[in-house]
Homo-oligomer: A and B are copies of this chain.
């Protein structure tokens, strides 16, 4: 059921979200290992990662636990919660809360692969029950 845990709207920024993805993928994890995972890709310095981590801790969406002399970080919110909130936010903002127009939009802009279509059809059949 994954209860709502998007702390009173404490928004997670784009860069912060990139860090969250790492934490969701592997956790608990140290700051330097997070850097290991994305610094190259995003062309960041370790300092940047540390700042983002501490902002996430402040926002109470990431927790820490001491590990010897260093810290390990772990997400305090579920990725599915985050993704759900963000998806809904977009649907609300851009499509008046209706999902069908979003679907139409994606279809029109060719963002739907054949695989997507097949999968969605399967899901639909699934829900039909």
A residues neighboring B (CB under 8 Å): 14, 17, 80, 83-84, 86-88, 90-91, 93-95, 97-100, 102-109, 111-113, 115-117, 119-121, 123-124, 127
Contacts and interface: CB of A to CB of B under 8 A. Distances in A.
Given A87-B111, A98-B113, A99-B116, A123 B104 contact: yes
A126 to B, nearest CB: 9
A119 B127 CA distance: 14
A117 to B, nearest CB: 7
Nearest to A14: B93
B91 A86 contact: no
In order of increasing CB-CB distance, the 6 nearest A-B pairs are A100-B119, A100-B116, A84-B109, A99-B116, A99-B106, A90-B90
Contact of A87 (B84, B88, B90, B113): B90
14 contacts: A14-B93, A80-B108, A83-B94, A84-B105, A87-B102, A87-B105, A97-B111, A99-B103, A100-B123, A104-B123, A107-B127, A117-B127, A120-B120, A121-B124
